[in-house]
Amino acid sequence: MMDEICSHIADLIVNSISAEAKHIKVTIEKSKINNELSLKVSDDGKGMNESILKQVIDPFYSTKIGRKVGLGIPLLKGTAETCGGSFNIKSTPGRGTEIAVSFPLNHPDLPPLGNLKDTILVLSVSNPEVDFTFHIKNDVVNFTFDTMEIKKMLDGLPINSPEVIKFLKDYLDEHLDFFNKQ
């Protein structure tokens, strides 16, 4: 069972990496005005055909043997539905997958967001060959963390170098404070 929204985000990103994505875009928006927490993860990975997509949403859909499908997406869909939110998945073979989920912010069953800063840091640094663009928004502030921009600044110095990890940790602490406060 996933006890935080950030665990679901990490799970979706790991799925994208398993699908050989090279660029993963994540948008997280918290709006008190609209009473909504929305989450979108899109990738340029290998995508899925209709049959796999159905099985990913419902792991008991197919009786075919030998196709391994995890429980991460059904768990996320279940959480969204329990909270009266929405869940959408689109995928095109050879082009990628996009998953969009929303939750009413004031629903008592909405899991806590969890540690967004650590989630971004851990995934960006442990997958140096993948590019990530995180858009984090609330009603007032909009923050983008883009590893392509970071790698350009680093000009060959690996993103998983100790001093870069330390810098990014402090940078995220400073710039994502707004999201946890609202």
Partner 1 sequence: MKLEDLKKIREKAAKDIELRQKNARVKIVVGMGTSGIAAGAREVMKALLDEIAARNLTDVMVTQTGEKGLASHEPMIEVHEEGKDVVIYGNIDAEKARRIVAEHIVNHNPVTEYVIEVK
CA–CA dist 52, 84 (Å, integer): 26
CB of 137 to partner 1, least distance (A): 19
- Helix/strand/coil for 71: coil
Residue among 148, 149, 177, 182 that touches partner 1 (CB under 8 A): 149
Is residue 160 a contact residue for partner 1 (CB under 8 A)? yes
Q: Which is nearer to partner 1, 94 or 162 (CB)?
A: 162
Sign of dihedral through CA atoms 169, 182, 77, 100? negative
Candidates 155, 154, 114, 149; CA nearest to 132 is 149
CB of 131 to partner 1, least distance (A): 15
Q: Does 51 bind partner 1 (CB under 8 A)?
A: no
- Within positions 9 to 38, which residues make up the interface with partner 1, using CB under 8 A? 10-11, 14, 17-18
Largest CA distance in the chain: 50
Give me the least distance between CB of 14 and partner 1, in Å please: 5
CB of 66 to partner 1, least distance (A): 14
Q: At its nearest, how many Å lie between partner 1 and the CB of residue 86?
A: 21
CB 92 within 8 Å of CB 119? no
Candidates 6, 28, 101, 136: give the one binding partner 1 (CB under 8 A): 6
Which of 87, 127, 132, 134: binder of partner 1 (CB under 8 A)?
Answer: 127
Closest CA to 123 of 55, 2, 26: 26
166, 177, 180, 182: which one binds partner 1 (CB under 8 A): 166
Residue 178: both structure tokens together: 């707004």
Task: Name the residue among 43, 35, 41, 26 with its Cα closest to residue 136.
Answer: 26
What gap in Å lies between CA 148 and CA 182, rounded to an integer?
28
Identity of the amino acid at 118:
D
Is 111 near partner 1 (CB under 8 A)?
Answer: no
Q: Footprint of partner 1 on this chain (CB under 8 A)?
A: 1-3, 6-7, 10-11, 14, 17-18, 68, 70-72, 75, 115, 118-119, 121-123, 125-127, 149-150, 153-158, 160-167, 169-171, 174-175
